[in-house]
Structure 1
Amino acid sequence: MAKVTIFLLCSFFVVFAQGEVILEADQTWLRVKLSDEATLKCCYKVHGGPNSVIPTWIKHVKALNGTLNKEKVKNSENVTVRDREENNSVFCGKLFFKSVELNDTGLYRCHLNVSEILTYGTYLQVYEPLKKTINLSESTKNKILTAEGILLLICVLVPCATLLCKSKKLQQLEKKKMSREEENIYQGLNLDDCCTTYDQIERSQQHGPYQDVGNVMEDDEEIQLEKP
């Protein structure tokens, strides 16, 4: 009985040693364009017999109630589950998508049957590129750019020309204002008074200084003295 117990314990220890698995870091996420190829990997190390480890791909799908449902990924025309590949004592299971679709988006993880654990997983995001709403040729694009440049030039020149015209008008108004102020200086003056005053000044300059009464001869009665 003791021998049987020791044999069972040794067998259990060997099986446990063969099934010890160490997970490797997975790619966190992968973003792929619609209809392109995609490859997911789950890598691990196994102490003992690696042939006993069979990776199974599982996809987590979000349900309507917010929970995650597990779906087993099967081989199809578009999806291929490949055998594990060894590289420096690291074994990797691969999941290959020939042409990804939008409903392929989700979290993919490997289930390892020996240790009954799941790998960290890779989130596959499938996106659809934006389509051109207007398909324009290169010549049309160049024409549009040229037209935009001309419009930009007009938008710059028109305000400048407007400012120049306004400045010229302001200068003309200043000149008119100055001329009006000069005209207002002479308003209210009597031209007749100005003429008589001017004539008196001219006459005094022509006749010279005033005559002295003492120097006038008595018999010169016809001489008229200039009044100051």
Structure 2
Amino acid sequence: MEFRLVIFWCFWAAAAEEELKLEADKPLQRVPVTDEATISCCYRWKESPSVLWFKHVHAIKEPDSKVVNKTENVMFKPSDKTNGVTCHYLFFKSTQLNDTGLYQCKLHHSTLQTFTHGTFLQVYIPLQKTLNLSESVKNSIITAEGVLLLMCVLIPGTLLLCKSKTLNELSKKKGREEENIYEGLNLDDCNSAYHQIQRSNQQGPYQDVASCGEDIQLEKP
């Protein structure tokens, strides 16, 4: 008789477990500190099990698991059932850093006890802005940066153009001065003077006595 009873309970537990189907939970939920947060666990089951929320914290030494109790900050929302899916909700009015952990529902009915997949709640501190600037101020800063960048490009380029123009003017002025040196010179006078110098170099300052006649008066030294 006892053996048959054990078989009956095992068969009933297996049938009940087959009827239970856990729905997918949200694996991770990140919320900033002091914000609201809602965690849900859903399942399909004809039975109405008792539900306990558990919080699992992975400490350095050993994991810590404890039952979540109702407080002013933590509340249990009423469960709802839609299309055969029953959901239970754990609501945080204002999250704190120590609320970080893995939250699971423990479903208990008769001899069947099981945990849902669970949701890891991560509470973080948002980064604070060093300078709290409005959008209009940001746009003004970007515009000023653009103007400064344009000036940094235009001013050196303008200076280089002015410098090259000045050098070109100096080179042209130098060329005109060199041309003006030879202005006013008569080429015919230069040629006659040149030929006289050449002739004097060829004849010499003295006349040859042998080549002169008797009637020619010699040049005195």
Q: In structure 2, what is the equivalent of residue 113 of structure 1? A: 108
Pairing 1:17–2:15 present = yes
Q: In structure 2, what is the equivalent of residue 157 of structure 1? A: 154
Structure 1, unaligned stretches of length 5 or more? 202-228
Taking the aligned partners of 2:163 and 2:65, their CA distance within structure 1 comes to: 77
Among 88, 91, 98, the alignment partner of 1:96 is 91
Q: How does 1:182-221 map to 2 (within 5 A)?
A: 195-198=189-192
Displacement of 1:198? 4.6
Displacement of 1:87? 1.6
Q: How does 1:54-65 map to 2 (within 5 A)?
A: 54-65=50-61
Q: In structure 2, what is the equivalent of residue 37 of structure 1? A: 36
Displacement of 1:95? 0.8
Query: Contact 1:39–1:95 at 8 Å: present in 2 too?
Result: yes
Taking the aligned partners of 1:123 and 1:176, their CA distance within structure 2 comes to: 85
Displacement of 1:112? 2.0
1:113-155 alpha-carbon deviations (Å, 9 max, x no partner): 2433322111112233332333445665565445334322321
Q: Which residue identity is paired with 2:91?
A: F
Query: Contact 1:31–1:124 at 8 Å: present in 2 too?
Result: yes
Question: Tell me, what secondary structure is at the counterpart of 1:107?
Answer: strand
Displacement of 1:162? 2.0
Structure 2, unaligned stretches of length 5 or more? 196-221
Taking the aligned partners of 1:27 and 1:164, their CA distance within structure 2 comes to: 67
Among 79, 82, 86, the alignment partner of 2:77 is 82
Taking the aligned partners of 1:85 and 1:109, their CA distance within structure 2 comes to: 17
Query: Contact 1:74–1:81 at 8 Å: present in 2 too?
Result: no
- Please report the TM-score for the alignment, with normalisation by the length of structure 2: 0.67
Taking the aligned partners of 1:109 and 1:117, their CA distance within structure 2 comes to: 10
My pick for the range that moved more, 123-132 or 56-65, is 123-132
Pairing 1:73–2:68 present = yes
Relative to structure 1, the CA distance from residue 181 to residue 54 in structure 2 (aligned partners, 3 Å threshold; closer, same or farther) is farther
Identity of aligned residues (%): 46
Taking the aligned partners of 2:115 and 2:9, their CA distance within structure 1 comes to: 26
Q: Which residue identity is paired with 1:131?
A: Q
Question: Tell me, what secondary structure is at the counterpart of 1:116?
Answer: strand
Displacement of 1:28? 1.5
Displacement of 1:183? 8.8
CA RMSD, 1 decimal: 3.4
Q: Which residue identity is paired with 1:26?
A: D
Question: Tell me, what secondary structure is at the counterpart of 2:121?
Answer: strand
